[in-house]
Structure 1
Amino acid sequence: MNAKELAKMIDHTLLSPYAHEDDLRAHCEVAKKYGFKTVAINNAVIPLCKELLKDSDVLCDAAVSFPLGQCTVETKVFETVDAIEKGAGEVDYVANLVKIKSGDWAYVEDEMARIVAECKKRGIVSKVIFENCYLTDDEKRHMCEIALRVKPTYIKTSTGFGTGGATVEDVRLMKACVGDEILIKAAGGIRTYEQAMAMIEAGANRIGTSKGDVIVEQFIAENK
């Protein structure tokens, strides 16, 4: 792996609810400089970031029903389509944790199927956020089984706004469940090259982090 390949595994994240537009401009400039895969952002700022990134191949990654996942399916579907129409090239949505914890797997599968279908219809990458810090291992496995039927592009560990973020153990569990059929995104608390590489070695294909520049610079320093 070289620095450019590592950068293309990174969703460079700015999801602060109080980010200034100048922060977003700086964030997009950093993303262009390093050539990250996406900037992961809240949906209201997609048009701004889309314009800022127009002379690059960096995509806007929409955070749908973020960070709690407690919107209706219809609202999530509308938000997904609206984000895509506004310029999102990828979509990360938060699964309904109340339904997961209540064992309403039919609801969870229907929600996933409807959102993933809208993304597939438009050729857009879809990512399902499990928010593993609140789930038992059995619940994580059940989510993986549903994903194997629905086939989102990625399953994702965390929002980064919960009580815990990505862990190597969770990435290994998810990889063991889905193999090579679905990609895995690790996000939440990943701030160093060492942490990022541990996730990649465990099976992650994408890293969500607000420290993408730090991670790539550490990679370069270690591989001189």
Structure 2
Amino acid sequence: MPDVGRSLAKYIDHTLLKPEATPQEIKKICDEALQYNFASVCIQPSYVGLAADLLRGSSVKVCTVIGFPLGSTSSAVKAYEAQLAEKEGAHEIDMVIHVGALKSGGYDYVEEDIRSVVKSVSQGTIVKVILETALLDDNQKIKACELAKKAGADFVKTSTGFSKGGATASDIALMRRVVGNSMGVKASGGVRNQQAAQLMIRMGASRIGASASVKIVDDSTSGSTSGY
């Protein structure tokens, strides 16, 4: 692996969230994560136990998604889902906000929705808040970041990869300005090559979510596989 790729690997959540993912594919991405020393694998909740078994004893974390991909399940369901995922071996939780509540000014609901997940897991478990930035204007993105920060989350994250757009450099810069240095910022959705990953990091990303992870670290000209 080139030196540039090696330096990027520590930022990457190696991601497989497609609904048709098989146990064999989960094993493959866990093997790749061990080989390349990615920060984590990000998989659906039903595969947390499998990934935890495969990665036990390594530095690679298990990340899963909660309220995914729409964010419109109840807070109680999100909290239970996060609690169960942690019990099964998840170290990091990427939860989706209730986008409709945010857009309609239901800020107390959004804050409490995030807080319910934060409070449901142990202090050492990382909670990332997916804003679905493609559906928000800049003022809404700012407000969502502020609410995530108030609710005690560890990261804000751009996208699920299942909506109409993914991470942009301008969104990462905006999110970093709002949360400052006290939170992480995760760029997810459409990050497909080394140049894109490096740009996101320069703009303030501290984590990259991608399904094209191996291509990103191996070859700066690659990018035929879509990110999430």
Quote how far apart the aligned CAs of 1:54 are: 1.7
Number of residue equivalences = 220
- In the TM superposition, what whole-angstrom CA distance separates every residue of 1:44-63 from its partner, at most 9, and x where no partner exists? 01111111112422111011
56, 71, 74: which is aligned to 1:72?
A: 74
Which residue identity does 1:165 align to in structure 2?
G
Which residue is 1:48 aligned to? Answer: 50
Which residue is 2:148 aligned to? Answer: 147
Measure, in 1, the Cα distance between the counterparts of 2:149 and 2:83.
Answer: 23
Quote how far apart the aligned CAs of 1:25 are: 1.1
**Paired residues of 2:5 and 2:194 also in contact (CA < 8 A):** no
SS at match of 1:83: helix
Measure, in 1, the Cα distance between the counterparts of 2:66 and 2:33.
Answer: 21
1:80-91 superposed matches below 5 A: 80-91=82-93
Larger mean CA deviation between 73-82 and 21-30 belongs to 21-30
Which residue identity does 2:32 align to in structure 1?
V
110, 113, 116: which is aligned to 1:111?
A: 113
Measure, in 1, the Cα distance between the counterparts of 2:145 and 2:57.
Answer: 37
Quote how far apart the aligned CAs of 1:117 are: 2.1
Which residue identity does 2:17 align to in structure 1?
L
Which residue is 1:201 aligned to? Answer: 202
- In the TM superposition, what whole-angstrom CA distance separates every residue of 1:28-72 from its partner, at most 9, and x where no partner exists? 111110001110000001111111112422111011011111100
Which residue is 1:129 aligned to? Answer: 130
- In the TM superposition, what whole-angstrom CA distance separates every residue of 1:3-42 from its partner, at most 9, and x where no partner exists? 4442111000000111121111111111110001110000
TM-score by length of 2: 0.92
Q: Which runs of 5+ in 1 are unaligned?
A: none
Quote how far apart the aligned CAs of 1:122 are: 4.0
Measure, in 2, the Cα distance between the counterparts of 1:55 and 1:150.
Answer: 31
**Paired residues of 2:185 and 2:204 also in contact (CA < 8 A):** yes
Quote how far apart the aligned CAs of 1:183 are: 1.1
- In the TM superposition, what whole-angstrom CA distance separates every residue of 1:130-166 from its partner, at most 9, and x where no partner exists? 0000011110011122123223110000011110000
Q: Which runs of 4+ in 1 moved over 6 A?
A: none
Quote how far apart the aligned CAs of 1:2 are: 5.3
Measure, in 2, the Cα distance between the counterparts of 1:132 and 1:152.
Answer: 17
**Paired residues of 2:80 and 2:120 also in contact (CA < 8 A):** no
Query: Quick one: percent identity of the two aligned structures?
Result: 38
Which residue is 1:20 aligned to? Answer: 22
Which residue identity does 2:8 align to in structure 1?
L
Which residue is 1:218 aligned to? Answer: 219
Q: Which runs of 5+ in 2 are unaligned?
A: 223-228
SS at match of 1:88: coil
**Paired residues of 1:151 and 1:182 also in contact (CA < 8 A):** no
Which residue identity does 1:153 align to in structure 2?
D
Which residue is 1:160 aligned to? Answer: 161
Measure, in 1, the Cα distance between the counterparts of 2:195 and 2:63.
Answer: 24
Measure, in 1, the Cα distance between the counterparts of 2:6 and 2:153.
Answer: 26
Which residue identity does 1:59 align to in structure 2?
K
Which residue is 2:33 aligned to? Answer: 31
Which residue identity does 2:173 align to in structure 1?
R
**Paired residues of 2:97 and 2:110 also in contact (CA < 8 A):** yes
Quote how far apart the aligned CAs of 1:205 are: 0.3
Larger mean CA deviation between 1-10 and 26-35 belongs to 1-10
